[in-house]
Amino acid sequence: MRKKAPYQPPSIPSSEITSESVWLKRRHFMSVAAGGLIAGAPLGRALAASGSLNYAAASNASPGGFYTGEKQTPFDDVTRYNNFYEFGTGKDDPASYAHEMSIDPWSLQVDGEVEKPGTLNLEDIQSGFDLEERVYRLRCVEAWSMVVPWVGYSLADLLKRFQPTSKAKYVQFYTLQDRKQMRGQRSFTSTIDWPYVEGLRMDEAMNPLTFMATGLYGKDIPNQNGAPIRLVVPWKYGFKSIKSIVRIRLTERRPKTTWEMLAPQEYGFYANVNPQVDHPRWSQKTERRLPSSLFSPNRIDTQMFNGYQEQVGHLYAGMDLKRFY
Ligand SMILES: Nc1nc2c(c(=O)[nH]1)N[C@H]1C(S)=C(S)[C@@H](COP(=O)(O)O)O[C@H]1N2
Ligand SMILES: [Mo]
């Protein structure tokens, strides 16, 4: 079996990196823009130190939306409170059982409407693209949310390498299917038709915010968060951010997606975060920001497109978002 190159941690803590100021590539850093620096301090921290940090300012901490200065959800919450039904439906099941999945070797196939179909192995996935850090809000349809410092690259960077054809209108994603490694897939009570699948419209896939994460908090991404590579679409409900991807297929027709197949009246293809459109069984107006407890529930208002309206609102101009939820 191929040996994995030892992970080189960034030489500065992840909390001090802003995506605008530092793009990191394994083994070396490349400064591409000084835009995020105020007198040497990262933008988020400088704002926080000024004492005038409010929610709106934090949301807009970077013009591209690549970085929010909001308090980051601690590593332990990000990696122990998960949805990954392949390992069970309890929030702590993925942290308990995702180690039963091996990610080495791994193969990610890219096919369909592309000029150059091919596969990426683990090494390609982990170090074949320029890595950068993005700090995004993640809003689950269940009305909890987190702020996560991801490491990875844009989906556009990945797709361009395989040269999408003019017929490519959608992108479909598939999670690993392996009953031996994924105990949730062996469960008799599971109603999901495995493998977990997701999809995006081509313009959503190519939007600069759409991210492939291979790490978080400056480390390789833990299995429970979707190792070795998972999608992150920060303006959509979390279920769109499919984990442990083995296939990306570009298509002419809109692909089927797991939650839409399961309950189409509750979960749509678009699944854009929208406080105006409630889930049939609960309100989407507010969310519980982790860490949260009985004594500090930490409820905050949910923002349109999870606060990324400026970056992605144009994608849905003229669409009835109550109908296309
Ligand atoms: N393959 C797969 N991907 C998945 C899920 C899943 O059950 N299986 N759950 C989704 C849901 S509902 C959410 S909220 C996010 C959670 O990501 P996190 O556990 O890293 O916070 O993963 C999404 N990706
Ligand atoms: Mo979710």
The answer, yes or no, to whether any atom of ligand 1 lies below 6 A from the CB of 175, is yes
Mean pLDDT of the chain: 86
Ligand nearest to the CA of 217: 1
Q: Residue 14: what pLDDT?
A: 47
Classify strands 197-201 and 144-154 as parallel, antiparallel or unpaired.
unpaired
Architecture, CATH, for domain 36-262: Alpha-Beta Complex (3.90)
> Is the pLDDT score of 79 beyond 60?
yes
**pLDDT for 237 beyond 90:** yes
Q: Ligand 1 pocket, 140 CB below 6 A? A: yes
Q: Which ligand is nearest to the CA of 196?
A: 1
Q: Is 68 left (phi over 0), alpha (psi -120 to 50) or beta?
A: beta
- Separation of alpha carbons 174 and 137, rounded Å: 23
- Residue 94 CA: nearest ligand 1 atom is 19
- pLDDT of 277 reads 98
- How far is residue 230's CA from residue 106's CA, in Å, rounded to a whole number? 13
Average pLDDT over residues 235-262: 98
Ligand 2 centroid to 232 CA: how many Å? 12
Q: Which of 241, 246, 259 to mutate to test the pocket of ligand 1 (most atoms within 8 A of CB)?
A: 241
Say whether pLDDT at 159 is over 90: yes
| 225 ligand 1 Cβ < 6 A | yes
- What letter does residue 69 receive in the DSSP assignment? -
Residue 95 Cα distances to 6, 144, 253, 275, 322, angstroms:
23, 18, 35, 30, 35
- Burial code (b: 16+ CB inside 10 Å, e: under 16) for 232-264 equals bbbbbbbbbbbbbbbbbbbbeeebebbbbeeee
Can you name the residues that pair with 287 across neighbouring β-strands?
300
The predicted model gives 141-169 an average pLDDT of 98
From the CA of 88, the nearest ligand is 1
The response to whether residue 236 sits with its C-beta less than 6 Å from ligand 1 reads no
Distance CA 132, CA 251 (A): 28
Report the pLDDT averaged over residues 155-178: 98
Domain boundaries, the chain: 36-262
Q: Which residues are known binding-site members? A: 82, 85-86, 140, 175, 225, 230, 241-243
Q: Which of 72, 83, 221, 257 is the pocket-test mutation for ligand 1 (most atoms within 8 Å of CB)? A: 83
Neighbours of ion ligand 2 (CB under 5 A): 83, 140, 238-239
- pLDDT over 90 (residue 122): yes
